[in-house]
Amino acid sequence: MASVGNAGVEGTSGPSAWWLQIVPVVVGLGGFGAYATFRAFEGAYFQWGPYLSPFYSPLIDVHHHYWPFSPALLILGGPLSFRLTCYYYRKAYYRAFFLDPPACSVAENPSRRYGGETCWPLLNGEMGKVHTCFIAIYRKPCKMVGIFRTEEDLHSALKKIEQLQERSEQLAVSGSRMFNPGWHLARDLKSMLTVSEAVTRSALARRESRGAHSRIDCPNLDAAWGKQNTVISRRGRSMELRQMPVPQMPGDLQSLLADEKGAGA
């Protein structure tokens, strides 16, 4: 499986100016590397007064009795191998000098073979329109059938819902069914409108304030409403509201509740 995803679309080549991250490494570390290589092979000018270049410290066979090359080469192998195998530095080497990867989420040359750190010397690193309708439902009645309600608002919400019900007859979905929230919404819309209407009609009938239902025009709790539920049923194309008495609480629950009240008092 090659990289598929968004390949080939314009603007996919990763963050712009990614090269800014590697320029300091190439200039600084690269420059030091070039300079250090030159000084190491030079084999001269490594002492000045009491000072000795670290590349030549300690002095080994400076007069070339046994080693014909620069003595620095005998010393530098140690720190160099430490540096090359250091996990921390390898990120800088791979990014800045091998461009593999040049920076995160930046495209690389696809034709290049990649072995990571599996071969010597790296060996595993020790080496439609539905939505306008939806928004209308969501926003308009939400404003009008919120927690604080008035008769006037509820009436206009009801009118709005009726208009939306008419509009929903012409519901259409764009795009395919795959991952299409609009399609789900189209399926849900009828029920949502029905529930919205039921909530609004019940809120209109309940001329009191109770819990999350606050009628600004009827601010007081009405004891009679505490004893009845609103039951809504369909009659033809319209809704019918009836008030039914709240079912009697079973005896065992009643006693439990009485206990709790007693304990809380």
Partner 1 sequence: MAEAILKIFRGTREGGELAEYRVPVAPGMVVLDALHHVQKHQAPDLALRWNCKAGKCGSCSAEVNGRPRLTCKTRMDALPQDKPITVLPMKAFPVIKDLVTDVSWNYRVNKKIPPFQPRAGTEWKMYQPDIDRVQEFRKCIECFLCQNVCHVLREHGKQEQFGGPRFFVRVAALEMDPLDGLSRTHLLKDQLGLGLCNITKCCTEVCPEGIRITDNAIIPLKERVVDDFYDPWHWLLRKLGKKVSKSVAEH
Site residues for partner 1 per CB under 8 A: 1-16, 87, 90-91, 94-95, 100-101, 104-105, 107-108, 110, 114-118, 122-132, 134-135, 173-176, 178-183, 185
Give the shortest CB-257-to-partner 1 separation in angstroms: 37
Q: How far is the CB of 212 from partner 1 (least distance, A)?
A: 24
Q: Give min distance, CB of 111 to partner 1, in A.
A: 11
Q: How far is the CB of 112 from partner 1 (least distance, A)?
A: 8
Buried b (16+ CB within 10 A) or exposed e, 224-239: ebeeeeeeeeeeeeee
Distance of alpha carbon 10 from alpha carbon 42, whole angstroms: 50
Strand partners, 51: 48
CA–CA dist 196, 41 (Å, integer): 85
Residue with Cβ nearer partner 1 (71 or 141): 141
The C-alpha angle with vertex 32 and arms to 16 and 74, in degrees rounded to 5, equals 140
Q: How far is the CB of 118 from partner 1 (least distance, A)?
A: 4
Nearer to partner 1, 165 or 180 (CB): 180
Residue with Cβ nearer partner 1 (98 or 148)? 98
Kindly tell me which of 69 and 138 has the beta carbon lying closer to partner 1: 138
DSSP letter string over 143-209? HHSSSEE-HHHHHHHHHHHHHHHHHHTT----S-STT-HHHHHHHHHHHHHHHHHHHHHHHHH--S-
Query: Which residue matches tokens 């849900």?
Result: 188
State in angstroms the smallest separation of the CB of 94 from partner 1: 5
Choice between 175 and 226, CB closer to partner 1: 175
Closer of 48 and 179 to partner 1 (Cβ)? 179
Contact 103, 95 (CB under 8 A): yes
